[in-house]
Structure 1
Amino acid sequence: MTRLIIFIIILLVLGTLLEYYTFQALKTISKHKFLPFGFLFASIAVYTNFIITALTYDRSNGQTPQFQMAMGLLLTFLIPKLFIVILLFGEDIYRWIVKAISAISSQETQPLAGRRKFISQLALGIAAIPFVSFIYGIIQGKYNYKVIKYQLSFDDLPEAFDGYTITQISDIHSGSFTNKEKIQYGVDLINEQKSDLLLFTGDIVNNKADEMDNWIDVFAKLEAKEGKYAILGNHDYGDYMQWKKPEDKVDNFEKVKGIHKKIGFDLLLDEHRYLEKDGQKIALLGVENWGKGFNQAGDLAKASANVNKEDFKILMSHDPSHWEHKVKKDDFNYHLTLSGHTHGLQMGIEIPGFFRFSPSQFVYKQWAGLYQEYGRYINVNRGFGYHAFPGRVGIWPEITVIELKKA
């Protein structure tokens, strides 16, 4: 609660600065008082809604869709205004410098009203881009599923698996869902890939097993020719909410593990399975969550027990920091690692082949897409669902299809 109060105080201080400059910008370009005051009242309503929601929602239920929407609206109104403050505050600094020089030199300054209006128009025009993007991201972007395909070649891939296809999904976060028709569309799109194997790399819920109750019938329809396998993600352990009793957390964790069986997935808990085809085989390994600095439950050695070093290996590990800090240099040679977790922060800019940016890259070296080091690959899936922010801006929900080829 103390951290929440501190956050609200910071929010109010920052909000005051943002609203002051936004009000000035709207007042400068508008002949009517309705526009600046109307936008100010709307912003106050958004702040009030978030503060009331944050102070009153039951933390024993974790993040609810209502809390996420309050957070989404807050970010939608806050982030675009940062551009307004940067431009107008910068113009203020310039104006103060000019006045200081003028006072020292005893020269008269030129009227600045015209430039102020131009800067205000420019700032509002730039701010409109993220504002509209956030609105789109909340309404439609979170369902803008993209199928991303890769073809990867390996010298030591058994010939029987040449052309073998894998669909990877990650980070379902069922507790955030509100639209069954849209989720069904995503599931149908997964099935349309008709892959040999379907792999899910963790975070089936936000916190509680019952979040999945209304979605089991949808995800039970997922199909794959050779089988469906899953691992756990950091949210599946129930670490991010307040439990009334320790036994409740333990019971919930067992139920989360049971969800995977209900929807037809073989859950790998520091285990491996051999996939066989025409007398040849590859090893599929799955570890519990291992994250840099938190929840390092995954045991790679245990999962690899009785797997031969020369076997072709596919590893499922939810957090890509596991690959960066433990897997990629391992002499046991894990050919392909599949991860998720980052969501690409659900915000960013991606122009395929030209430019990629997300704040997520300041935390994770491998934050979205395919990476190769030391002759080994990792794919970081951007996630099927969403969490915290109830939308996606520029970083769309992903269905990955990987075709294995014999080099």
Structure 2
Amino acid sequence: MSRFIVALIIFSLLFLIVEFYAFQALKTITKNRYIRIIWILVALAIYINLFYVLLTTPRSAGQTKAFQMALGLVLTFFVPKVVMLLVMFGEDVVRVIQKLFSYVSSGPTQPIASRRLFVSRLALGLAAIPFASFIYGIIQGRYNYKVLKYQLEFEDLPEAFDGFTITQISDIHSGSFTNREKIQYGIDLIKEQQSDLLLFTGDIVNNKADEMDAWMEAFGNFEAPYGKFSILGNHDYGDYVEWKNEADKAKNFQAVKDIHPKIGFDLLLNEHRYIEKDGQKIALIGIENWGKGFNKAGDLKKASEGVNKDDFKILMSHDPSHWELKVKKDDFNYHLTLSGHTHGLQMGIEIPGYFRWSPSKYVYKQWAGLYSEFGRYINVNRGFGYHAFPGRVGIWPEITVIQLKKKPRVA
């Protein structure tokens, strides 16, 4: 039995458990048989649609928009039911404990029926929050672009670069795009920043080069006086689809790399460039993808050959696990690293200055935003596009603007 079939069986059992508890709450709230039937039919339709897409889509097709929407519908209805399960299961635990105590106490207890009705209503009310959030995330959240601005100070920044601005975008995932008007709005926001330097940190497609065909013109007219540079992400290698042969995969990979110069970006493949201003310079280093559990084509040593240790250095590396495992303690001193990759899992809660949470934090120590250790910085861009789940819930698409400042040396 294949791993896929085993996984399908496990998830099916999980769905049945969640659906059972959610349906118990519904039965407590309403006796209307039509509402119950509609509830069951909707659930069946959503799961059958997902299984149909999974079983009929060839691996050579990659991640299709049909799969994204099927997964989006499952999450939109399944996650709220998980909330209901947690509430109802908690009530079951309390009820079991009360029954145990009833053996040793004859005191009055709360009527079970009224309590069950209250808990069921509470479960349904709480479930409405993620349900509404997922609906918003699919309709509007994936286009809710945010411009996040940071000012970073460095003592050894060349004076000519005091006030120098960088716009970073990441994870375009053009194969997921569906709404040209909304995407153009995000592109216009990038242009409005009018930064000195524009950097793209990988994943221009989901899998195949032709996903970008319809978007070449839109992404091809950015302007930045000190240049536009890019690197590859893990999805750009075509590793997540099944190819007829290695030659086809290699042809696609070359086509992905060719996209970058066609839209005016200098693609850095384990190499560097010097950015010069008023007779001074900083080093821009770009590596291929290197990530824990992913492709490790990145070669930091090769990319840094010819760069002096005392140079001010900006590193472009798609996966933030590279910074955590290899870069942050490197005595060559990479002042600022720009990454993406995580998308913040496209779902979570962020209240600036107070609270940040996403399931992504359990996989990546640096999962979204700006971090600093050992006097070195990494910015993990939340991504411009989206992947797998066709929406964003609480973790919005991001355009990062970083201003470099010269920090006065302490006497």
Q: TM tier, shorter chain?
A: over 0.9
In the alignment, the residues of structure 2 paired with residue 108 and residue 371 of structure 1 have an alpha-carbon distance, to the nearest angstrom, of 56
Q: Does 1:23 align with 2:23?
A: yes
Q: Deviations over 1:323-344 (max 9, x none)?
A: 1111111111111000000000
In the alignment, the residues of structure 2 paired with residue 227 and residue 335 of structure 1 have an alpha-carbon distance, to the nearest angstrom, of 20
User: 1:41 aligns to what?
Assistant: 41
Deviation at 1:249, TM superposition (A): 0.5
In the alignment, the residues of structure 1 paired with residue 55 and residue 265 of structure 2 have an alpha-carbon distance, to the nearest angstrom, of 38
- The TM-score with structure 1 as length reference comes to 0.97
In the alignment, the residues of structure 1 paired with residue 359 and residue 127 of structure 2 have an alpha-carbon distance, to the nearest angstrom, of 18
SS at the partner of 1:218?
Answer: coil
User: 1:50 aligns to what?
Assistant: 50
Contact 1:313 1:334 in 2 (8 A): yes
In the alignment, the residues of structure 1 paired with residue 358 and residue 106 of structure 2 have an alpha-carbon distance, to the nearest angstrom, of 48
User: 1:342 aligns to what?
Assistant: 342
In the alignment, the residues of structure 2 paired with residue 357 and residue 216 of structure 1 have an alpha-carbon distance, to the nearest angstrom, of 35
User: 2:66 aligns to what?
Assistant: 66
User: 1:80 aligns to what?
Assistant: 80
Contact 2:234 2:294 in 1 (8 A): no
Quick one: structure 1 residues 252 and 110, their matched pair in 2 at CA, closer, same or farther if it must change by over 3 Å?
A: same
Q: Does 1:263 align with 2:263?
A: yes
In the alignment, the residues of structure 1 paired with residue 135 and residue 290 of structure 2 have an alpha-carbon distance, to the nearest angstrom, of 34
Deviates more, 1:75-84 or 1:163-172: 75-84
SS at the partner of 1:217?
Answer: coil
Contact 1:158 1:282 in 2 (8 A): yes
Q: Does 1:328 align with 2:328?
A: yes
Gaps of 5+ in 2: none
Contact 1:137 1:391 in 2 (8 A): yes
AA at the equivalent of 1:353: G
User: 2:395 aligns to what?
Assistant: 395
Gaps of 5+ in 1: none
AA at the equivalent of 1:145: Y
Q: Deviations over 1:163-193 (max 9, x none)?
A: 1000000000111111111111110000000
Contact 1:171 1:384 in 2 (8 A): yes
In the alignment, the residues of structure 2 paired with residue 307 and residue 104 of structure 1 have an alpha-carbon distance, to the nearest angstrom, of 77
Q: Does 1:117 align with 2:117?
A: yes
- The TM-score with structure 2 as length reference comes to 0.96
AA at the equivalent of 1:337: T
User: 1:240 aligns to what?
Assistant: 240
SS at the partner of 1:219?
Answer: coil
Contact 2:76 2:131 in 1 (8 A): yes
AA at the equivalent of 2:37: F
Quick one: structure 1 residues 108 and 309, their matched pair in 2 at CA, closer, same or farther if it must change by over 3 Å?
A: closer
Contact 1:161 1:405 in 2 (8 A): yes
In the alignment, the residues of structure 2 paired with residue 37 and residue 88 of structure 1 have an alpha-carbon distance, to the nearest angstrom, of 21
AA at the equivalent of 2:187: V
In the alignment, the residues of structure 2 paired with residue 315 and residue 155 of structure 1 have an alpha-carbon distance, to the nearest angstrom, of 18
In the alignment, the residues of structure 2 paired with residue 356 and residue 72 of structure 1 have an alpha-carbon distance, to the nearest angstrom, of 23
In the alignment, the residues of structure 1 paired with residue 289 and residue 110 of structure 2 have an alpha-carbon distance, to the nearest angstrom, of 63
SS at the partner of 2:14?
Answer: helix
Deviation at 1:105, TM superposition (A): 5.5
User: 1:197 aligns to what?
Assistant: 197
Deviation at 1:44, TM superposition (A): 0.9
AA at the equivalent of 1:357: W
SS at the partner of 2:11?
Answer: helix
AA at the equivalent of 2:349: I
In the alignment, the residues of structure 2 paired with residue 118 and residue 29 of structure 1 have an alpha-carbon distance, to the nearest angstrom, of 9
Deviates more, 1:318-327 or 1:97-106: 97-106
User: 2:141 aligns to what?
Assistant: 141
Deviates more, 1:98-107 or 1:334-343: 98-107
Percent of residue pairs identical: 71
In the alignment, the residues of structure 2 paired with residue 359 and residue 210 of structure 1 have an alpha-carbon distance, to the nearest angstrom, of 32
Q: Does 1:357 align with 2:360?
A: no
User: 1:7 aligns to what?
Assistant: 7
In the alignment, the residues of structure 2 paired with residue 152 and residue 89 of structure 1 have an alpha-carbon distance, to the nearest angstrom, of 48
User: 2:250 aligns to what?
Assistant: 250
